Amino acid sequence: MIFSFDLLVNAIVSGILIGAFYAAVTAGVTLSFGVLDIVNIAHPAFIILGSYIAYIFNITFGLDPIVTAIVATPAFYLLGAGIYQIYYVSFEKRGQESMRGLAFFFGLLFITEVMLVLYFGVDYRYVEARYIGPTWHVASLDIPLRILVPCLVSLLMIAVLQLILTRSFVGRAIMAVAQDQLALKLMGVDPVRIKRIAFGISIATASIAGAFLIVIQPVEPSVGREYIGRVFAICVLGGMGSLPGTLIAAMLIGIFESLTSTFYGPSWAPAVSFGFLLLTLAVRPAGLLGR
Amino acid sequence: MTGLLEVNNLGKRFGGFVALESISLSVKPGERVGLIGPNGSGKSTLVNCICGTLRNEAGSVNFDGHLIDGATAHQRTRRGLARTFQLPRPFASLSLVDNLRIPLLYAVAARGGALRAAHAVDERCTDLLREVGLEAKARHLPRDLTQVEMRKLELARAMAAEPKLLIADESMAGLTHSEVEEILTLLNRLNAQGVTIILIEHIMRAVMTFSQRLVVLVSGRMIADGDPNEVVRNPEVERAYLGQ
Amino acid sequence: MRSDVFFVVCLVVGGIVFAAALALGNDYYFFAGYVVLQYVVLSTAWNILGGYCGYVNFGSAAFFALGAYTTVAMHRLHPMPIPVDVVFGGVVSGVVGLGMGYLTLRLRGAFFAIATLALAVVLQTLIVNWDYVGGSRGAYIVRPESIAPFGNYIKYLFMIMMLLAVGSVTVARVIERSRLGYGFATIRDDELAAEASGVPTLRLKLIATTISGALMGMAGAPFPYYIGFLQPTSAFGLEYAVNSIAMPLIGGTTSWVGPLIGAILLGSLQQIATVTISSAVNLLIVGFLLVGFVIAAPNGVIGLVHKYIQHKPIGRVGRRKIEADAPKAAP
């Protein structure tokens, strides 16, 4: 273990940048699990799906992956809305969401991964874009553009989401449905419709996050699995339905993973976020900024 | 003389909201206490704190001479403290008989002595169902019950735990006149058998006829505690109800 | 039927199956049968926590792999007879189950489920980095050529797994009919009401997690001998997690019969599919079946059979059918 100040600073900066990306990945879960209480463990699968769609358009038409993803968000939104409808009719209405709902999402996760394997194989896929490759050198810092660009767009996406949730009618209805469905009904708003919209938004973010992912690293179908724990760790640590909390928690985990990876080796990195999760659940389930 | 239940300066907050403030209550063995208060005054929170479903932040709860503050809900039930839930919570996948078997197998059996033989448990369950008039539906699932039958099952399940103190949380909500009478008869019979009862209700007629003592909770504070007829004439109580 | 009688009956059935496989003369049936029996143990174990108590465990692979790696670790020290491996595997997995339960069972079911996922990854990372058991390179366990009086070693492994299957099914049935089984059902139905009725829910949940984990560990203990070369990716394979959830859910979660049916049906289907199609397609089928059943037939095969029996008309009076007067017994 060679310790140097440069190494430390780079690890921390790297962690912060990756953290912003992690926040984008988690934002959808903050919405579906943190706010709506739907344990969508299949979220990483949708992210990988987003990655592969960005990949196809990049390979075939040379389109920028992030732009592709943004264009694809309506499709993902519809997918999310459709899945919620099935979930609601089959489970929420019957009060079976705990066991069977979980099994449902687990099945979706599994099906998505296996179908991707069948269609694309297990080879790593990557995209090409002008910002993948160059690295900025600032003082002793090395900032790869392929991480910086997704980081910046992530922050933008989260800011937009936060604005929607706090300023728009739909957004506030979403926050309201989490707190008091009956009151919402009495005000003439259909809670099921609101939840459907929210879940649709949640999956739509997966499209964009997927593009970030394949820009940052090559992707193959099982990559989603390492994100399950990360995503829920960040969501819980961030206090469940809070986007600012998610951002902070994501950066914290990003930094810790980066430090572990730099000084102890990358094979330990997956254990960091999961370890965090177990610790948080055991010690302070309300998270850092929790309610 | 210390009572069966001693609540001392109990306090409970939810974040910034003070649900209960400095509640002190003493219940003697065999008493029939009525607890009333407007919606949101903290009655159910108080029950939850006494029974261990929620943890109180301040004050203490003593039951049967023991401090039960740190005890879990099931430990308190084993000590002889039973409650019904405002919205009945039967075990949906178990038949009525099996619903009653649970407290017998877990609460009563844990009090010492060997587990009763299976047929003795069965007999006791059937007896209890007969007492509440649900014998005919013994093998049915809770989903086949009517409103009032659900509430009777809820009571029967609490009774199956052979409690010293039973807290009946709005057992009569939404029932007809005669149905309320049925529940009242049940409760009176229980009390005659020696069970101390705290009745939480909105139906004033029932509360007034049943209670030896009346306690009033408003916005998390206890504003009256005494003879029912005097309490209802208390100006503060009148204000709390009529001023709504 | 009393439980000891049941146990003997199961042993007899197991013996018949063994004899049938022998008669078929092809060792393949033992290899395939081993996998199906393994899934009987895994699904029955999963169901004790998942079906009876309502707590979903996504980390079955972790407990299974723990059993397998305990065998490897001990083999490095000093090779042991498999039954000893099984006991150790069960103890290690049981203890880990207890520990994890203690950390997370005071929280909601959803958090427990996520924690089991986390555990699986943490454990896999630990094993991958532990060179003593081979790490990511894998570990070889040489399977003996033969063992008296079975002849081919696979027959011995098959018998061991058969005994484990009989044992786990018997344990599940005993639990179901005991006070513990009632307690588990209340935890599944309404934990709050269970506590209020005197049920020590945390203690029961810990018991369930420990038994479930221990059985899964026992199922994993002979695995290194079966497969010869153990790698983390195969020991922690996703198929264990999916199958141990899919099989009980498809068979029916409310009794010991469900996981057994699910394991036999789905396990055999997968063995056939692997030979005729690819193993990826066969996993896909499991995934679709899981989602399909969970949506359309939430009570599994058992539930479908019940529904069919209850709606069978038994006669006619004039123009009206009389529905079978099935007492609405608890499923």
Is B109 among the domain residues?
Answer: no
C-alpha–C-alpha distance, residues C246 and C198, integer Å: 33
The average confidence (pLDDT) of chain B is: 88
Flag whether pLDDT at A122 surpasses 90: no
Supply the range of the domain harboring residue A170. 5-283
Higher-confidence residue: A229 or B31?
Answer: B31
For chain A, list residues whose CB is within 8 angstroms of any CB belonging to chain C. 33, 37, 39, 41, 86, 90, 94, 96, 98-100, 102-104, 106-108, 110-111, 113-115, 117-118, 222, 225-226, 228-229, 232-233, 236, 267-268, 270-271, 274-275, 277-278, 281-282, 285
Is B68 among the domain residues?
Answer: yes
- Count Cβ atoms below 10 Å from residue A185 Cβ, excluding itself: 13
Mean pLDDT for the stretch of residues B144-162 = 91
Is A77 among the domain residues?
Answer: yes
Whether the bond between B163 and the residue before it is cis, its omega within 30 degrees of 0, is no
Is A264 among the domain residues?
Answer: yes
pLDDT for C328: 39
Supply the range of the domain harboring residue B31. 5-89+162-242
Considering only alpha carbons, which residue of chain B is nearest residue C203?
A: B74
Which chains does B contact via 3+ CB–CB distances below 8 A?
C
Domain limits, chain C: 3-265
Please give the structure tokens belonging to residue C79: 């090779």
Helices (H), chain A: 5-29, 43-61, 65-87, 102-120, 145-167, 169-179, 181-186, 191-216, 223-237, 243-264, 269-283
Q: Are A74 and A234 within 8 A, CB to CB? A: no
Nearest Cα residue to B81 out of B96, B62, B58: B62
pLDDT for A2: 59
Structural domains counted in chain A: 1
Q: What percent of chain B has pLDDT over 90?
A: 48
Band of the pLDDT at B115, cuts 50, 70, 90?
low
Higher-confidence residue: C28 or C217?
Answer: C217
Band of the pLDDT at C323, cuts 50, 70, 90?
very low
Reply yes or no on domain C3-265 having CATH 1.10.3470: yes
The average confidence (pLDDT) of chain A is: 87
Stated pTM of the model? 0.88
State whether residue C80 is helix, strand or coil.
coil
Q: What is the CATH number of the domain that holds A247?
A: 1.10.3470
Structural domains counted in chain B: 1
Is B111 among the domain residues?
Answer: no
Question: What single DSSP character describes residue A125?
Answer: B
Is A290 among the domain residues?
Answer: no
C-alpha–C-alpha distance, residues A145 and A149, integer Å: 6
- pLDDT tens-digit profile of A173-206? 888 887 777 777 777 778 889 999 999 999 999 9
Question: What single DSSP character describes residue C131?
Answer: G
Alpha carbons within 13 angstroms on the beta-carbon side of residue A26 total 36
- pLDDT tens-digit profile of A32-91? 988 888 889 899 999 999 999 999 999 999 888 889 999 999 999 999 999 999 999 888
Side chain identity, residue A77: Y
Band of the pLDDT at A97, cuts 50, 70, 90?
low
Flag whether pLDDT at C145 surpasses 80: no
DSSP structure string for B123-161: HHHHHHHHHHT-GGGTTS-GGG--HHHHHHHHHHHHHHT
Mean pLDDT for the stretch of residues A236-249 = 88
Band of the pLDDT at A285, cuts 50, 70, 90?
low
Mean pLDDT for the stretch of residues C112-120 = 83
Nearest Cα residue to A274 out of C66, C108, C117: C117
CA distance to partner chain B, nearest, from residue C298 (Å): 14
CA distance to partner chain C, nearest, from residue B141 (Å): 7
Is B174 among the domain residues?
Answer: yes
Range name among A110-124, B112-126, C192-206 with the lowest pLDDT average? B112-126
Q: What is the CATH number of the domain that holds B195?
A: 3.40.50.300
Whether B137 has its CB under 8 Å from any CB of chain C: the answer is no
Nearest Cα residue to A50 out of A286, A216, A277: A216
Flag whether pLDDT at C12 surpasses 50: yes
Flag whether pLDDT at B156 surpasses 90: yes
ipTM (interface predicted TM): 0.90
pLDDT for B113: 57
Is B53 among the domain residues?
Answer: yes
